[in-house]
Amino acid sequence: MKAIYDSAWHHPMVAWVVGLWLLWAIARRLPFLYAYLVVFLVLILADAMATGAFSPIPLGTPAYTAFSVIFIILGDLRYFVLAERVTRPSESFWRTLAFSLPISFLMPVTSELMRQCFAFMQNERILYIVYESAMAVLVLALDRQRFARREIAPDIRRWVHEVSLLFAGLYFGWAISDVLILCEIEIGHLVRIVPNVLYYGALLPFILLRAPESERALAQKN
């Protein structure tokens, strides 16, 4: 009986299952902007806890690597979901996910394949630089070639463009800092703090504060 009591299926699994179900239930009843902010705020806080200095998961273990990859994918998903959804609001959310989820896996899968094929990619810092640079280029390309070409209100277009620039900018910031670290220039570690703060602390508030009045008014009304 004690083994059942001590089982992870009892705790924390029950709390996780119920908590995730409740989060989903709440999000479904909110306007998109607020639902988006609530869900991704929970995920970014979980990311900070699991991969930050207070992480209960030992650094360098397979579990730490797995959580890091999962949260990288979810972090990229933040951009793709927002940009796809607000530029095609008439489509179902499942259609939004049909685009956003696979493309969130594109860079992690591609960089892992490159790591398996090329010896120089075994260097983690080079792996980071390739991933970060490619993500920045991908975001800017999608902003110009996909989202900008849709028939949307000018204020929505402006909003998506600003978010795209910020998201691409933080990835370029990471790439620059990792080049400095690769060259053994210690200030690279301090430079890396800037994109970290943008990623974990500034992106969601920026999305809310720069959202068009139509989006914020809809959220307040509902």
What pLDDT sits at residue 30?
A: 87
Sorted by sequence, the CB contacts under 8 Å of residue 162 that are 6+ apart come out as 206, 210
Confidence (pTM): 0.89
What string of pLDDT tens digits covers the 222 residues of the chain?
666 666 667 677 888 888 888 888 988 888 999 999 999 999 999 999 988 888 888 888 888 888 899 999 999 999 999 999 999 999 999 999 999 999 999 999 999 899 899 888 889 999 999 999 999 999 999 999 999 999 999 999 999 999 999 999 999 999 999 999 999 999 999 999 999 999 999 999 999 999 998 887 655 544
- The reported pLDDT for the residue numbered 142 is 97
Report pLDDT for 5.
Answer: 65
- For every residue of 4-67, DSSP letters joined together read HHH-TTTTTHHHHHHHHHHHHHHHHTS-HHHHHHHHHHHHHHHHHHHHSTT-SSPTTSHHHHHH
Residue ranges per domain, the chain? 31-221
- Output the pLDDT for position 104: 97
Q: In sequence order, which ranges of 88-123 are alpha helices (DSSP H)? A: 93-117
Given this model, what pLDDT does residue 221 score? 46
Question: Residue 222: its pLDDT value, please?
Answer: 42
